Amino acid sequence: MESVPLKQQTQVQVRVNEFIRSVYNWMAIGLGLTGLVAFYVANSPQLVQLIFGNQLLFFGLIIAELALVFIISARIQKLQASTATALFVLYSALNGATLAFVFLVYTASSITSTFFICAGTFVACSIYGWTTKRDLTSMGGFLTMGLIGIIIASVVNMFFRSSAMSMIISYIGVIVFVGLTAYDTQHLKTMAMTQPDGVEAAVVRKGAILGALKLYLDFINLFLMLLRIFGSGRD
């Protein structure tokens, strides 16, 4: 009599592991593509001049990225799995183009060291979000408000150009994205464990792409906040 529940538990665990593996694989693909595109653009004077020498094009790319995030997040259920995947890949590439400034502003050694600091922090937060018995749902609203505050403060600081405010925003940003990483990881765990039996592969793929996008955004933003704190500028 106990073999049936045990078999079901094993099937659920296999399904959860496959889903989470897919999420992190797509996240890694997105980060890798972003890094390669950013490095390529930064080492191409023509592309640097094209993107960063033309404010209209640069902000056009930013708007396009925001639109892609909105489309994937808000319309994931209506998209084909292949379309959602293509949009995620496109977003990762466009983000790499606009993040090429990282290689232009900061030294290679500080980028590398900050990346490993970010990766270690991200992994620790993901493990906490996965293993903690505490329900992190209540943190979601608080962290969202913090994220909105960071965006508003960053926009305001574009006009004031205060280095002190920029540093404060960075420290608060680290706290917010550390929390979001744990929160999103727990949310993905819940999503994986509550998937019904026999769900279509396309639906699973779309869920994995959405999860990958969330963790990708957590990682990228955490990296940028840490880079502002620990990064060394080029002479």
Domain boundaries, the chain: 3-230
Instruction: Render pLDDT for 188-197 as a digit per residue (tens, 0 to 9).
Output: 998 888 877 7
Instruction: Render pLDDT for 163-220 as a digit per residue (tens, 0 to 9).
Output: 899 999 999 999 999 999 999 999 999 888 887 777 788 888 999 999 999 999 999 9
Instruction: Render pLDDT for 65-89 as a digit per residue (tens, 0 to 9).
Output: 999 999 999 999 899 999 999 999 9
Rounded to whole angstroms, how far apart are CA atoms 67 and 74?
A: 10
CA dist 165 → 50, 110, 161, 221 (Å): 30, 22, 8, 17
CB 99 within 8 A of CB 38: yes
Task: Give the global pTM.
Answer: 0.91
| 3 state DSSP class of 233 | strand
Find the distance separating the first CA and the last CA of the chain, reported in whole Å: 71
Closest CA to 102 of 178, 41, 47: 41
Sign of the C-alpha dihedral computed for residues 101, 103, 105 and 106 taken in this order: positive
Residue partners of 196: CB distance under 8 A and separation at least 6: none
CA angle 206, 211, 212 (to 5 degrees): 95
CB 220 within 8 A of CB 34: yes
Tokens of 100: 């090429």
